[in-house]
A and B are shown apart, each in its own frame.
Chain A
Amino acid sequence: MNKPDFRYYLITSRKACAPRPLPEVVGEACAAGIKAVQLREKDLSGNALSQLAHQVREVTAQYDARFFINGRPDVAEVVEADGVHCPEEGFPSSAVRQYWPQFSIGASVHSLEAAKQAEQEGADFLLFGPVFFTPSKEEYGKPQGTDRLKKVCDGTSIPVYAVGGVTPAKVPECMDSGAYGVAGISALMEADNIGRKVEAFRKQLYG
């Protein structure tokens, strides 16, 4: 597969952007230049998730942004998303590859071993983290740091996005470690001025 056409991967959290509705915030981010969005709303039932996914699909399509659904290839198929994002213990990349060959596949990994496995299972790109400290990823333990990020980038041959506490200022050290891009939830979801924040990331990612 061709390398992804995005360097920033926006991960949603409707709770982080409340009271503003998620589709509106995603639309603002896309208008500012975001080219890839992952819908990650794990607590929603299938029905509620598919309704929200339809709305976000509409917004992302308007801006020609790639749209991924976390962990649910069925929902991704129903809303005609571009891909599925597979959590490490979630729906396996190999099963998505086999039954939904139309999808592009991102996979979250928290170790080099898992990164190699995800690549072998057919993932198109990886999310590795948490690289830096972030409250939203506390469940995954201590920050892994850029040394481990570099090991994952060196040990795999597909693009790796750094996630977890990545601010615009920290983008250069991620790229120096071999990252293809960065991903984030709170950096944009909670931003007061999304356009300015996207621009700050853009300058660091594209120079």
Chain B
Amino acid sequence: MNIQDYQGIYLITDTQMQDRYSHVALADAAYRAGVKMVQYRAKDIPDRKALKQIRAITELESKKEHLLIVNDRSDLAKAGGADGVHLGQDDLPLSATRKVLGNEAVIGGTASNLKEARQVSDAGADYVALGHIFETSTKQKDYEPRGLVTLRQVRADISGPLVAIGGITLKNAPEVINAGADILAVSSAICTADDPQFAARTLAALFE
């Protein structure tokens, strides 16, 4: 799948807010529901185990040509057979990551304002993830939600794929799409839903 053409949901797996479903089960549910982009994000899991989980996701029948992105770690992405990596502001620089993963890899970066969004884009990222848009309990943040105003600002400036992240729900998703986001990254909206696959399908349907 070419990320340039993707308009849809981007699931970020989480097993800290909930432990009913594994990373692999969540990814499988999402891919089956029409979510074509999943990010493996695991904190406090030893690398040996994380690598097994990443490989298990890449081997899912539902994964097919869909994308698997690994949070932070290009080495886990490479050895796990994932399609790319998502970089926060504290992670390895994009140029270094590109060196490890090569030109085919999908590398995205986090930005919290227009300036960072430009930097991420100029550094050669395949997508810019702007957030957090709304209040979120998934990640501790030391700054205020960016809201749709910043999202529109960044949209006017960045031509490549723009991911909106943070506090996105089925309810507020339509206005985020209207504000110009190509891709909506969600975690709790799917991971903590009674039925993750149903929640993923409902969200994915917003783009149909």
Chain A interfacial positions (CB closer than 8 Å to B): 45-48, 50, 71-75, 77-78, 87, 89-92, 95-96, 98-99
Report B-chain residues with C-beta under 8 Å of the C-beta of A96.
Answer: 79
**Are the CB atoms of B99 and A99 closer together than 8 Å?**
no
> Assuming A48-B90, A72-B75, A89-B49, what are 12 further A-B pairs, CB within 8 angstroms?
A46-B90, A47-B91, A74-B96, A78-B92, A78-B100, A89-B46, A91-B51, A91-B75, A92-B48, A96-B79, A99-B75, A99-B79
Within 8 A of A (CB), among B75-109: 75-76, 78-79, 89-93, 96-97, 99-100
**Are the CB atoms of A74 and B74 closer together than 8 Å?**
yes
Report A-chain residues with C-beta under 8 Å of the C-beta of B79.
Answer: 73, 91, 95-96, 98-99
Within 8 A of A (CB), among B119-140: none
**Are the CB atoms of A45 and B48 closer together than 8 Å?**
no
**Whole-angstrom CA separation of A74 from B78 in the bound complex:** 9
Which of these, A74, A90, A92, contacts B92 with CB under 8 Å? A74
**Are the CB atoms of A74 and B47 closer together than 8 Å?**
no
**Are the CB atoms of B48 and A77 closer together than 8 Å?**
no
Report B-chain residues with C-beta under 8 Å of the C-beta of A78.
Answer: 92, 96, 99-100
Check B14 for interface membership: any CB of A closer than 8 A.
Answer: no
Give A74's nearest chain B residue, CB to CB. Answer: B75
How many B residues have CB within 8 A of the partner chain? 21
**Whole-angstrom CA separation of A95 from B47 in the bound complex:** 11
Give A79's nearest chain B residue, CB to CB. Answer: B96
Report A-chain residues with C-beta under 8 Å of the C-beta of B91.
Answer: 45-47
**Are the CB atoms of B93 and A47 closer together than 8 Å?**
yes
Which of these, B48, B49, B89, B93, contacts A50 with CB under 8 Å? B93
Check B152 for interface membership: any CB of A closer than 8 A.
Answer: no
**Are the CB atoms of A75 and B48 closer together than 8 Å?**
no
**Whole-angstrom CA separation of A92 from B75 in the bound complex:** 11
**Whole-angstrom CA separation of A58 from B79 in the bound complex:** 27
State whether A46 and B49 are in contact (beta carbons under 8 Å apart), knowing that A74-B73, A91-B75 are contacts in the complex. no
Per-residue CB contact flags for chain B residues 145-162 toward chain A (1 = under 8 Å, else 0) read 000000000000000000
How far, in Å, is B32 (CB) from chain A's closest CB?
A: 28
**Whole-angstrom CA separation of A121 from B175 in the bound complex:** 51
Give B88's nearest chain A residue, CB to CB. Answer: A45
Report B-chain residues with C-beta under 8 Å of the C-beta of A99.
Answer: 75, 78-79
**Whole-angstrom CA separation of A90 from B44 in the bound complex:** 11
**Are the CB atoms of B92 and A50 closer together than 8 Å?**
yes
**Whole-angstrom CA separation of A84 from B100 in the bound complex:** 15
User: 19 interchain pairs (CB within 8 A)?
Assistant: A45-B91, A47-B91, A47-B92, A50-B93, A71-B47, A73-B79, A74-B96, A74-B97, A74-B100, A78-B92, A78-B96, A78-B99, A78-B100, A87-B46, A90-B46, A90-B48, A91-B48, A91-B76, A99-B75
How far, in Å, is A154 (CB) from chain B's closest CB?
A: 26
Per-residue CB contact flags for chain B residues 12-46 toward chain A (1 = under 8 Å, else 0) read 00000000000000000000000000000000001
Report A-chain residues with C-beta under 8 Å of the C-beta of B47.
Answer: 71, 89-92
Report B-chain residues with C-beta under 8 Å of the C-beta of A95.
Answer: 51, 79
Which 7 residue pairs across A and B have the least CB separation, nearest first? Answer: A45-B90, A74-B75, A89-B46, A95-B79, A46-B92, A46-B91, A78-B96
Report A-chain residues with C-beta under 8 Å of the C-beta of B93.
Answer: 47, 50
**Whole-angstrom CA separation of A96 from B48 in the bound complex:** 11
